[in-house]
Amino acid sequence: MGAFVCVCVPSILDTSLCASLSHRLTHTPPAHVQSDHLFELNYAITLYNNGEQDKAREHFLAFKASYEALDDEAKMADADVAIQGGQLAGLVGETM
C-alpha cells in the first residue's frame, strides 16, 4: 500500500523512499500488482518527473504491455489512461 501512496503523492514524500518502496513492490509484487497497468503508468510518470528517464521508459514499457493485454471494454473505461500513456510515450521516446 505504501508504494501506491508514494506514487500518487510524490511531491509530499521523500523521492528516494518512494523509489525504494516502488522498487520493492515491482520486484516482489503481490499477484494482483504484477500486471497492474495503472501502477506501472503512475510509477513511470513519477520516475520521469524525478529525472529518471531510463527507469521511466522501463516502467512505461511494462505499462504498455499490461495495457495492450486488456480487453477493449477495460481500455475504454478510463480515457485518461490512454491520454497519459500517450503523453508519456512521447517523453520517453516510445509510441503508444
HEC profile of 34-59? CCCHHHHHHHHHHHHHCCCHHHHHHH
The C-alpha angle 72, 39, 16, rounded to 5 degrees, equals 160
What band does 4 get if pLDDT is binned at 50, 70 and 90? Answer: very low
- The reported pLDDT for the residue numbered 88 is 95
- What would the mean pLDDT of 3-13 be, rounded to a whole number? 49
Closest CA to 89 of 56, 49, 43: 56
- The reported pLDDT for the residue numbered 77 is 87
b/e sequence 53-75, b meaning 16+ C-beta within 10 Å: eebbbbbbebbbebbeeeeeeee
84 to each of 13, 16, 81, 91, how far by Cα in Å? 22, 24, 5, 11
pLDDT tens-digit readout, 29-59:
555 544 588 888 988 998 898 888 999 999 9
pLDDT at 8 over 80: no
- The reported pLDDT for the residue numbered 17 is 61
When the pLDDT of each residue in the chain is averaged and rounded to a whole number, the result is 77
